[in-house]
Amino acid sequence: MMAPVLDGSRLAGCYCQSFVKESRIPWPKACAFSRLSKVFSQNSLISSTAKFTSSPVPFLGVGCVIKKKGVNVLSADISALNLASEFLYACDDEYDGVIIDPESLPSSANAFVSALRASLFQLETEGLCTSGKKGVWLKILSEQADLVPIAVQEGFTYHHAEPGYVMLTYWIPDEPCMLPASPSHQIGVAGFVLNDKREVLVVKEKCPCSCSGVWKLPTGYINKSEDIFSGAIREVKEETGVDTIFQEMVAFRHAHLVAFEKSDILFVCMLKPLSSEITIDEKELQTAEWMPLDELLEQPFYLEDHMSRKVIDICIKAYEDQYSGFIARQLNSKLDGKLSYLYYNELKNISSIVM
């Protein structure tokens, strides 16, 4: 069926929208060691394997230690102190991996390296033979930064980072890592706002970059978990004070190697103005104004930039109902139980073109 195409699950690090699944499934019983652990061979750590194979306490990834909204829920028969001194807490993800609970990380370097090695050894020796665990996610908070060099030394690789933490990963099998890559794109929005006098809302930014001093559409990045159409409306309001409503997304440009060698998608949104008074954000803008469309088209730059000329053509056609972009509709998916927006060409737009 078509449905699963929308569940967010894609291999090359397959995962679904519910990335982390809390789980009470018991960790598989210890088994004979089929191979030396990569960690052990890397660090030539000598240790008694009996300790792990016979240990009655939970291991890395064991289901009886569940992280719920930052609270560790422990089974009654387990001593957290005893565990913390030897193993790291973790919960399973849905994709043959485990996620170490950052709140379970020992503060001392020695305790951390010891618990990390013991846990990785347990995971590798058990995981490879029965549970099939392949990847380990390790989130280290800023206040735990002393642990970062240790994790790297133990074979972890940086995955992504945000203010407040860095996420590292460890891939067990001797095959290419299948964990999902870190986010690769920034999403920008541009608002094309034309009033009933055929005046376009344009701005000049203070940014000292190559666009400095040129008239442009209000643009910006969408915020975390913000929708494209909402971001376009917000950016126009923040930069110019003009209230708008979303009509359609008319085109987007996909550019590569922008910042940090990542990529960038800029969605051009047609917005209808609900107010006309301009109040600029003086931190971001030099100025803003309603510029007659003809005056905009007469600027020399328009003749020299193919990308820009094409976008101008598209926006004008959209304004004149001779073009059909994508509208946004919120729909529910059974697979993740989430409401999310589908952007597509509303057929009534096309019929309006036919008429």
Q: Yes or no: say if 285 and 239 are a contact pair by the CB < 8 Å rule.
A: yes
Q: Please state the φ and ψ torsions of residue 304, each to the nearest 5 degrees.
A: -100, -20
Decide whether 73 or 353 has the Cβ nearer to a copy of itself: 353
Nearer to a copy of itself, 16 or 84 (CB): 16
| Structure tokens, 279 | 């109040």
Binding residue (CB under 8 A) for a copy of itself from 72, 96, 198, 276 = 96
Asked if 243 interacts with a copy of itself (CB under 8 A), we say no
Interface size with a copy of itself, residues (CB under 8 A): 134
* Residue in 51, 80, 103, 162 binding a copy of itself, rule: CB under 8 A: 162
Given the complex with a copy of itself, which of 86 and 235 has the nearer CB atom? 235
Reference 152, options 93, 109, 209; nearest CA is 109
Site for a copy of itself in 109-138 (CB under 8 A): none
Q: Please identify, among the stretches 35-43, 56-64, 69-77, 255-263, the one whose residues bind a copy of itself according to the rule CB under 8 A.
A: 255-263
> CA 30, CA 283: separation in Å to the nearest integer?
61
Binding residues among 179-218 for a copy of itself as defined by CB under 8 A: 180-188, 190, 192, 202, 205-211, 214-217
Q: Is the Cβ–Cβ distance between 326 and 347 less than 8 Å? A: no
Q: CA 106, CA 84: separation in Å to the nearest integer?
A: 7
Of residues 46 and 355, the one with the C-beta less far from a copy of itself: 355
> Rounded to the nearest whole angstrom, what is the least distance from the CB of residue 88 to a copy of itself in the complex?
19
d(CA 240, CA 287): 9
Q: CA–CA separation, 8 vs 129, rounded Å?
A: 29
Task: Give the residue carrying structure tokens 């890592």.
Answer: 177
**Of 274, 290, 209, 262, the residue nearest 237 (C-alpha):** 274
4 near a copy of itself, judged by CB under 8 A? yes
Classified as helix, coil or strand, 296 is helix
Nearest to 51 by CA among 65, 72, 30, 34: 30
Residues 139-158 touching a copy of itself, rule: CB under 8 A, are: 142, 145-146, 148-149, 152-153, 157-158
Site for a copy of itself in 307-336 (CB under 8 A): 307-308, 310-312, 314-315, 317, 322-326, 328-329, 331-336
- SS3 state of residue 176: coil
Residues 272-291 that bind a copy of itself (CB under 8 A): 283-284
Contacting a copy of itself within 14-73 (CB under 8 A): 14-19
Query: CB of residue 19 vs a copy of itself: minimum separation in angstroms?
Result: 4
